[in-house]
Chain A
Amino acid sequence: MNPQPTLPSRGMLIYFTVCALAMIWPGALVANRIEPLVIGLPFFLFWYVAWVFALFVGLVITYCRDGAQEVDDE
């Protein structure tokens, strides 16, 4: 058994940090407007919906990379 679980790569950690910064100050400042409405949602609301999806994609990539590296200890 590996003594330590594998952590996400440096690149993915940077990606997650970007996702976090996009949802708070200062990242969210750029999206603080109503126009354009996207899929019926004001832009500020759509911004959050989109970043949640970006985070999901990042986690999928991290998971797939993990799977290639480690054999589960179960």
Chain B
Amino acid sequence: MSDSLLITTITLAYLLIVLAVGLRARHGQSSSLEGYVAGGRHMGLLVLFFILGAEIFSAFAFLGAPGWAYSKGAPALYIIAYLALAVIVWWLIAPYISRLGRRHGFLTQAEFLSACYPTRGNLLGLFIGVVSVLAMIPYLTIQIAGAGLLFEAATSGTIPFWLGSLLACGVVAAYVYASGLQGIGWTNLLQGVMMVCVAWFLGLATADQFFGGVGEMFRELQREAPEYLTMPGANGMGWGAFSTAILVSALGCVMWPHIFMKFYSANSERTLKRVFMLYPLYSYLLVPLLIIGFAGVLLLKDRPLDSPDQVLLTLVVEMADFPAWLIGVALSGALAAAMSTAANLAHTSATILVRDVGQHLPALRDMADDKALRLTRYGVVLIALAAYLLALANPGSLVALLLGAYGIVVQLLPMLLGALFWRRASRSGAFAGLAAGAALTLLFQFGVSTPFGWHAGFCGLVVNAAVFIGVSLATSSASSRSPVQALGPQA
């Protein structure tokens, strides 16, 4: 059997296993919308840990992160830092989300925020729903395109881009359609274990094969290109840009709807805290992947790559002397990262479309639970299909849409914190802050450059919080209860 055929066979076998595990999980769930979306709020420690791990580590972990180490060097450590620090924010917020979700029946982020800040006709809910979906569809498209690229590179073109991304997308849509969060949970467990093993093996084996060990590799890098090993890195990322990128990513991470909504699914607050306690260790997954990027600095010195994201594939598939079956397993691990995130994104987007956007259509108002469940499942298939077509078309504005829409979603953080912890938080303050923060973020993202090279979203958050506090203090009288406490014991 030729090498590329063997690689293809192993990868297809892996996809079949994922599909089987995902479809099997449908037996465990109740046939309600809450069961489909939040696992009936009964998800345990092990599954929830791997869901939160697998959904954060996307195609970016295997393509973009080594690419950062390869092209920039030390600034790539921002990824490890923000993933670990994000847990502190989760720890403070998630128990409230979980508790109030259970008490009031919330399933989405928009439902939570619009209950705290009611608007006429629930316009806030509609706004959050639309912007979140606009952020998540390009993100999903990037995962599906990433899967296609991985397939094409690892099988040397035996599986072309269109077929590879179709396979990954089809498998994800099938098990999310059938099994909802249960399917995502068990497949993410499998995919999480797979990507941890593959990442560590590839990192250590690459350093060993070319340099005789990780320490030896870094010694050589210290002699040849020491600028990669400390700040500001190879092409000068300043401390301001580095630090604000860490802060805004750590703070904003919780506002990704597919992460926020998982807090509803925990079977208890204690489970959530156990997950978070272990979570920082998951960020060690990036260490071996960054090692591969650093290895690329030395190994590709004479023929720099046009696209830094190709560094892992170039080293593992073309340069290293790994047997074909191992490349097949490695491809499966990288696919796992892309597909596990894709599953969560498709599932969450469909839920938001039906719960937050759909209810504004007259035909869908106050629909029965079984109808909502059916529509959500169709939504998963539709969204997966849309993302696949977008991946084929590959419009250039995709990343801009992702950055712009996610930039706005992050600006919901001050009003969330205000609702939870601040008695004087007022609705007018929250909306004024959101408007100012979102406008400023978009301006900095697409127009003028930021002061001191700070992250656009960070500048937006600072102004957002200042406006929120100022307007709230000016408009509201001292209240004895925060917006969350004002929700009362029952919806």
Docked Cα-Cα span, A4 to B100, in Å, equals 10
Asked whether A41 lies within 8 Å of B81 as measured between CB atoms, the reply is: no
Please give, as numbers and ranges, the residues of chain A lying within 8 Å of B274 by CB-CB distance.
Answer: 63
Q: Is B459 interfacial (CB-CB < 8 Å)?
A: no
Give the contact-size bracket for chain B. 35 or more
Asked whether A40 lies within 8 Å of B87 as measured between CB atoms, the reply is: no
Asked whether A55 lies within 8 Å of B84 as measured between CB atoms, the reply is: yes
Residue of B whose beta carbon sits closest to that of A63: B277
Docked Cα-Cα span, A3 to B240, in Å, equals 40
A5-B95, A45-B74 known; A23 vs B85 contact (CB < 8 Å): yes
Docked Cα-Cα span, A33 to B74, in Å, equals 11
Asked whether B273 lies within 8 Å of A20 as measured between CB atoms, the reply is: no
Q: Is A7 interfacial (CB-CB < 8 Å)?
A: yes
Identify the interface centre among B99, B229, B242: most chain A CB within 10 Å of its CB.
B229
Per-residue 0/1 for B208-250: is the Cβ within 8 Å of any A Cβ (1 yes, 0 no)? Answer: 0000011100110010001001110000000110110011001
Asked whether A37 lies within 8 Å of B277 as measured between CB atoms, the reply is: no
Residue of B whose beta carbon sits closest to that of A3: B485
Docked Cα-Cα span, A42 to B231, in Å, equals 12
Interface members, chain B 109-166 (any A CB < 8 Å)? none
Residue of A whose beta carbon sits closest to that of B247: A24
Q: Is B200 interfacial (CB-CB < 8 Å)?
A: no
Docked Cα-Cα span, A5 to B287, in Å, equals 34
A3-B485, A24-B81, A48-B81 known; A41 vs B218 contact (CB < 8 Å): yes
Asked whether A49 lies within 8 Å of B85 as measured between CB atoms, the reply is: no
Asked whether B230 lies within 8 Å of A40 as measured between CB atoms, the reply is: no
Please give, as numbers and ranges, the residues of chain B lying within 8 Å of A49 by CB-CB distance.
Answer: 80, 284, 287
Query: Least Cβ distance of B43 to chain A in Å?
Result: 13
Docked Cα-Cα span, A42 to B219, in Å, equals 9
Please give, as numbers and ranges, the residues of chain B lying within 8 Å of A14 by CB-CB distance.
Answer: none
Docked Cα-Cα span, A28 to B218, in Å, equals 20
Query: Least Cβ distance of A23 to chain B in Å?
Result: 4
Docked Cα-Cα span, A49 to B95, in Å, equals 27
Asked whether B242 lies within 8 Å of A24 as measured between CB atoms, the reply is: yes
Give the contact-size bracket for chain A. 35 or more
Docked Cα-Cα span, A14 to B229, in Å, equals 30
Please give, as numbers and ranges, the residues of chain B lying within 8 Å of A45 by CB-CB distance.
Answer: 74, 77, 229, 287, 290
Asked whether A52 lies within 8 Å of B284 as measured between CB atoms, the reply is: yes
Per-residue 0/1 for B238-281: is the Cβ within 8 Å of any A Cβ (1 yes, 0 no)? Answer: 01101100110010000000000000000111100110111011
Asked whether B242 lies within 8 Å of A25 as measured between CB atoms, the reply is: yes
Asked whether B88 lies within 8 Å of A16 as measured between CB atoms, the reply is: yes
Please give, as numbers and ranges, the residues of chain A lying within 8 Å of B29 by CB-CB distance.
Answer: none
Q: Is B367 interfacial (CB-CB < 8 Å)?
A: no
Q: Is B444 interfacial (CB-CB < 8 Å)?
A: no
Asked whether B273 lies within 8 Å of A63 as measured between CB atoms, the reply is: yes
Q: Is B283 interfacial (CB-CB < 8 Å)?
A: yes
Asked whether B226 lies within 8 Å of A74 as measured between CB atoms, the reply is: no
From the candidates B80, B246, B267, name the one contacting A52 in the complex (CB within 8 A). Answer: B80
Docked Cα-Cα span, A63 to B275, in Å, equals 11
26 CB < 8 A contacts A-B:
A3-B485, A20-B247, A25-B243, A32-B230, A34-B218, A37-B218, A40-B213, A41-B215, A42-B218, A45-B77, A48-B77, A49-B284, A49-B287, A51-B84, A52-B80, A52-B84, A52-B280, A52-B281, A55-B84, A56-B281, A59-B277, A59-B280, A63-B273, A67-B270, A73-B99, A73-B268
A-B CB proximity, top 6 nearest:
A40-B215, A24-B243, A5-B95, A40-B214, A23-B81, A74-B268
Residues of chain A having any CB pair with chain B under 8 Å: 3-5, 7-8, 16, 19-20, 23-25, 28-29, 32-34, 37, 39-42, 44-45, 48-49, 51-53, 55-56, 59-60, 62-63, 66-67, 72-74
Known: A23-B84, A44-B74; 19 extra A-B contacts, CB below 8 A, are A23-B246, A24-B239, A25-B240, A25-B243, A28-B239, A33-B230, A34-B229, A40-B214, A45-B74, A45-B287, A52-B280, A52-B283, A55-B280, A56-B277, A59-B91, A59-B280, A63-B277, A66-B273, A72-B269
